[in-house]
Structures are given as C-alpha cells and as structure tokens.
A and B are shown apart, each in its own frame.
Chain A
C-alpha cells in the first residue's frame, strides 16, 4: 500500500484531522492577534496594571511547557472543578492564552521602543493625536511587528500537534491512528511533515511579501 492508497483509504480521517488542525489554528490566530494587540496597547499605556499582567503571563508562558499547560487544564483542573470541557475548547483556550500574551508582549515592546522624538516632531508640526496615531505610530509599529508576530503564528501551527495529547483529533493524532492500522511510519510522518511545510511556506511567503511591502528598511546608512 503506497502513501496515495493510504490517503485514499483513510481520506475521511485525514481530512477531518486537517480540518481540526486548521480550525484550531485559525481560531487561535484570530483570538491571539486581536486580544494580543489590545492587551499590548493597554500594557504600554498602563504599565502598572495591564503591563504587569502581561509581564507575569509572559514569564509564565516562557517557563511552563505548552504540554504541561494543556495537561493541567485538561485533567486536574476539570477534575477539581467537576466540569467537562471538550478537549478542542481546552486546546483553543491554552494556545490562545499563549498567543495572546506573546503577541501582547511584542506589541507592548514595539510601542515602547518607538522613538519619542518622532512623536515630538509630529507634535510641533501641529499634527492631531488622531493623525499621529494613524499616520506615524501605527505604520512604524506595524513595520516592527510584522515579522515577529507572523513567526509566533507559525509556531502556533507547529505547537498545535500537542493538542493530540489531550485527545483532540487533529492531524497528528489522525496520522498516528492511521499508522497504528497500516504501520507505514516513514510514509505517514513524511506526509505529515509535508503538510506542515505546505501550510508554513505560504505563511512565510506572505510574511516575506508583507515585509517587503510594508517593512522597508528605514534605518540610517
């Protein structure tokens, strides 16, 4: 049985896994970018409240492996609280939590690193606060954030395979299941690697395109 025959035979499971992985990632990307940006802006503005929360959360995220967080949310927490939350929702929550605070940290630092002199120059030129925000701050911050935020989103995609460990039927788990039946690990895991490359490469190309389009090198020569 070659790889095409395997996929043809088990296409239902494979497509389901593909769908679950993409659904998980898209939800986490949207939540992470929207809430992360909002939290980042608030953290830069209110460093003693939101900023502190972001700092603590970022430290927690960098210190605790994703898989520990997933297990902790899925097993002991639910048991303690006597609740039953679907594994997919737990995964969305855990990955979104990580994505939100990673994006928030990037946004906060980009805002804080923006040289104040540009804002002073805008101020003495009589620009309104709205113009300063839309024409000066956001474009400069966007340029700085583009690359790092897209890299974080690619890492979300890669980390999504950990969801299989709490029984989310995403692509990795489906491949494992198919492998248990046909035992073709080289073909199946190579195909899985190809899947991740196929998803990651367009993202990397988009990142490169956006970087070229919006992130011109403005550094002084």
Chain B
C-alpha cells in the first residue's frame, strides 16, 4: 500500500498540511475531496514525493521514505509504479500526443497490450498525430490519462482529471478506473465531482485548510459526522 503518515508541509512559515494520514490500498479507489485551496494537490505531491513533506513518513509497499527537516532520506522513488496525472496535465508540448504516450512506454520497452483498447475507449485516436496545443482541454485530459494508465502503475494519483470532460466521457473514465481497480491498481482521485466520487470510490478523505477533517467508508458521505463536511456536500452535491 501507499501510505502517508503524519505528513506536514510548511512553506515560508505557513502550515499547508497538518498531520495528514492517508492510505491508498491496492484494488481500491480512494477519493480526496475538499474546497479549493485546502491542500489536496499538495497532499498528492507529497505522497508522490514530487514535493518533500516537511515532516512525516511516506511508505510504498513497506519501503519507507522519511523527511527529517524536509530533507529527503532516499535516493530513488519507485516511479512509475507510483504515478500522477496532474491537474495541469503537462503533456510535453513539442511532442505529438502519440509521442507523449509512447515515450515513457518505449523507455521501459513495454508497449501495453491494452494500448489500442484504451486509445479507443478514451476516443483519442483522431488526435494522436496532433500536438497538445491543437487539442481541447478534454482531449488533453484523456491523452494525459492514457499516458499514465498505459504505464500500468501500482498506484495512480489523479488530480481533477475529469474537470474538462463531458458526462459521457466521465462515465467512460469511471469505467476505466473501475477496471484498473479490479486489476489491482490503487487509485487516489482528487475531485470536486462528488457524484463521481460516490459512484466509484471505496473510501473518502475530506481535507480543509490543510487538515483532514473526516475520512471513512464512502457510504459515510450520506451521513457526515462533521458539520464542515455536511456544508461542503450541500454545496457540491
């Protein structure tokens, strides 16, 4: 499992994250919800070690990574076994969408047998020869998803990857994520789409102002324990 324990993040004296505990288990989808600016993307960065936590422990399948005083105590992190689809997507702008997808696969000498299926499922075959700046936001999101999914990661962290998609495509992505989960991938989904979260997630984490307010089984979202989560759900439901 991918686990963050007592994660703290302080930037320029401001506490961005406080004592965050979060676990992503294989064959499970966890969702991370909360208002904008609450620290969700920072949690994701810390868990994937793209940002060093100021304090805390990140462990991946028993391998521990600690951060005394924000300094890393590790040499290499198991990318792309743990991988991320960023909110900003960050497709390489000088490569076609196809090259964006194939470059990491070629590096690993591993063209997934799922390649054609996924490309068709995500309806991106027509844009493969295009450059990212020639595509819509939704097309870019699907290309970015394909790039990371085809790496067959053990843990997939997704930051608002359905925000520019129409409902039909959100359903497609939901089904793909469920397939991945059934094949053993652990997924963390950062989203504002509460209905999507309720439909596909097994458990949830609710983060506000850098503090984990509430977490638990996804069914718990129907009867939140805290007033803060209740109010949040009233707005976003």
Contact = CB atoms under 8 A, between A and B. Distances in A.
Interface of A: 115, 117-118, 120-128, 131, 135-136, 139-140, 143, 216-221
18 contacts: A117-B86, A118-B90, A120-B86, A123-B50, A123-B79, A124-B48, A124-B82, A125-B79, A125-B83, A125-B103, A125-B104, A125-B147, A126-B104, A126-B108, A139-B94, A216-B94, A218-B93, A218-B94
B94 A127 contact: no
Nearest to A123: B79
Nearest to A221: B133
Nearest to B144: A121
B133 A140 contact: no
A121 B107 contact: no
Contacts of A131: 103, 107
Contacts, number: 69
A127 B107 contact: yes
B93 A124 contact: no
Contact of B148 (A125, A143, A216): A125
Shortest 3 CB-CB contacts between residues of A and residues of B: A218-B93, A126-B80, A125-B104
Given A121-B90, A125-B79, 11 more contacts: A115-B90, A118-B92, A122-B92, A123-B50, A124-B84, A125-B83, A125-B107, A125-B147, A126-B107, A127-B104, A135-B95
Contact of A126 (B83, B90, B92, B95): B83
B131 interface: yes
Given A126-B151, A218-B133, A121 B94 contact: no
Contact of A120 (B90, B107, B151): B90
> Counting chain A CB atoms within 10 Å of each CB, which of B48, B79, B93 scores highest?
B93
Interface string B84-113: 101010111111000000011001100000
Nearest to A219: B133
B43 to A, nearest CB: 15
B133 A125 contact: no
Nearest to A120: B50
Nearest to A142: B94
A125 B103 CA distance: 9
Nearest to A126: B80
Nearest to A217: B133
Contact of A117 (B82, B88, B107, B148): B88
Interface in B59-93: 79-80, 82-84, 86, 88, 90-93
> Counting chain B CB atoms within 10 Å of each CB, which of A117, A123, A131, A221 scores highest?
A123
Contacts of B95: 135
A125 B80 contact: yes
A40 B103 CA distance: 28
A97 B95 CA distance: 36
> Counting chain B CB atoms within 10 Å of each CB, which of A118, A125, A139 scores highest?
A125
Contact of A124 (B80, B103, B132, B133): B80
Contacts of A121: 86, 90-92
A121 B103 CA distance: 12
Contacts of B82: 124
> Counting chain B CB atoms within 10 Å of each CB, which of A117, A136, A216, A218 scores highest?
A218
Interface in B220-237: none
Contact of A216 (B80, B84, B131, B147): B131
A217 to B, nearest CB: 7
A218 B131 contact: yes
A91 to B, nearest CB: 38
A122 B99 CA distance: 13
B107 A128 contact: yes
Contacts of A216: 94, 131
Contacts of B86: 117, 120-121
Contacts of A124: 48, 50, 79-80, 82-84, 148
A122 B151 CA distance: 12
A135 B103 contact: yes
A126 B154 CA distance: 13
Contact of A143 (B50, B94, B132, B151): B94
A91 B79 CA distance: 52
